[in-house]
Amino acid sequence: MDNDIKTLRLRRGKEESLDRFHPWVFSGALAEPLPEGLEEGETVRVVSHDGRIIGVGHFQIGSIAVRILDFADTDINGEFFAGRLSAALRLRKALRLARPDNDAYRLVHGEGDFLPGLVVDIYGPTAVVQAHSPGMHFARNEVAQALVGLPDVGVRNVYYKSETTLPYKAHLDPQNDYLIGGFETSVATENSLKFNIDWLRGQKTGFFLDQRDNRELLGRYSQGRKVLNMFCYTGGFSVYALKGGAELVHSVDSSEKAITLTDANVEMNFPGCDRHRSYAEDAFKFLDNVKRDEYDLIILDPPAFAKHRSALRNALRGYQRLNAKAFEKIAPGGIVFTFSCSQAVSREQFRLAVFSAAAQSRRRIRILHQLTQPADHPVNIYHPEGEYLKGLVLYVE
Ligand code: SAH
């Protein structure tokens, strides 16, 4: 136990969710004004109204005041992070994700690995670290040291990328940079396919690892199909569709940069491939111009339409509109892979939006698969908010 850390007391009854291991202390649960001199990102001890120790965590200004790191009076230091990272690695080993034909996977998924505020993605010899909380920003060097110390992972370079993930009001000046090592290679392998990962300029850590299993499933449906991959970003679904034997694959993204990345990834896996074309266009406009029956496999993987609860209604309308357009155009016997990665949209709400789109199209539509995030993005059972990716595979007659 660390005697130097400050203690925050909860109001009576506010320990209930924490006693069920939910790792967030909301600011309204705190009994007293904050201790003098308490800084954002500091590690604090949380106690119940009558002084019982609940745990230790990172303090932050905002609606979530503390993110609990451990439900005990544990010292939060390099040893703590090394222990949590070893536990995260044990799980990934059980998942058999580190193989000669696969060296890209998520090693740390925030609350899902009992490290709220921290994301670590592994791309071969490079770990890309994102802090979502000031506490994890201050812990970044301990995390980086622990990463290179992990046996059998072979991390030699640690790139820190938190300029866009930290609360800007905290004035932390998080410069994106290598904490250890430097640039070595940007090519990672996923299920034998090669991807160029641009962690310097790309979105998130440079690649959406969370669609790995769903891309693999798509590959199995692609033989002989005419595929439209909307919101393609780095072209993950397109590459798997080509591997799966698609007759043609068209990739669409409104960002020119994304289209360049997609073209490069297709070229790296299928040099000189004439089955693929890409379009830098708005997805909604593109779908409007698609001819009926032009495609018989459509992927809809848009960005989070609702980043916050306040945007929920508009987001649901957006999903409905997008899916309705796909149902209107897809050939009979076609298959739609449709996704939502908005945390604020529940599985039921998403399904309802797709249902409304289906009804609007008046076509016979059946659900073949209900998809989610892969096992290297685990959901802490006490923190259901961690389940964010929802998908449906639909058969449209
Ligand atoms: N399917 C991708 C991830 C999609 S991320 C994968 O598997 O890796 C969302 C993408 O949607 C981003 O690349 C973004 O540029 C693109 N995007 C956002 N709004 C768009 C729009 N209106 N039309 C087309 N693309 C859009």
| Closest atom of ligand 1 relative to the 215 alpha carbon | 7
Instruction: Determine the 3-state secondary structure of 19 from DSSP.
Output: helix
**What per-residue confidence (pLDDT) applies to 159?**
97
Residue 180 is inside which H or E element, if any? strand 177-180
Residues of the chain short of pLDDT 50, as ranges, are none
Among the four given CATH numbers 2.30.130.10, 3.30.980.10, 3.30.465.10, 2.60.200.30, the one describing domain 6-70: 2.30.130.10
Helix, strand or coil for residue 284?
helix
Domain segments of the chain as ranges: 6-70, 78-190, 208-396
Does any ligand 1 atom lie closer than 6 A to the CB of residue 211? yes
DSSP 72: S
Tell whether ligand 1 has an atom less than 6 A from the beta carbon of residue 288.
Answer: no
pLDDT per residue over 187-215, tens digit each? Answer: 999 999 999 999 998 888 899 999 999 99
pTM listed for this prediction: 0.96
Number of neighbouring beta carbons within 10 Å of residue 288: 11
Question: Rounded CA gap, 37 and 292, in Å?
Answer: 64
What is the pLDDT at residue 9? 97
Q: Taking the chain, what is the end-to-end CA distance rounded to the nearest angstrom?
A: 63
Q: What dotted CATH number matches 78-190?
A: 3.30.750.80
Residue 236 in contact with ligand 1 by CB distance below 6 A: yes
- 37-65, pLDDT tens digit by residue? 999 999 999 999 999 999 999 999 999 99
Tell me how crowded residue 332 is: count the other CB atoms within 10 A of its CB.
Answer: 10
Residue 267: the pLDDT is: 98
pLDDT for 32: 87
Question: Ligand 1 pocket test: which of 205, 233, 298, 321 has the largest number of ligand atoms within 8 Å of its C-beta?
Answer: 233
162 Cβ closer than 6 Å to some ligand 1 atom:
no
Q: Does residue 341 carry a catalytic annotation?
A: yes
Q: What is the CATH number of domain 208-396?
A: 3.40.50.150
Would you state the pLDDT for residue 175?
Answer: 86
Q: How far is the CA of 319 from the centre of ligand 1 (A)?
A: 14
pLDDT reported for residue 171:
80
Closest atom of ligand 1 relative to the 299 alpha carbon:
1
State the burial class of residue 257 (Cβ atoms within 10 Å of its Cβ: 0-12, 13-18, 19+). Answer: middle
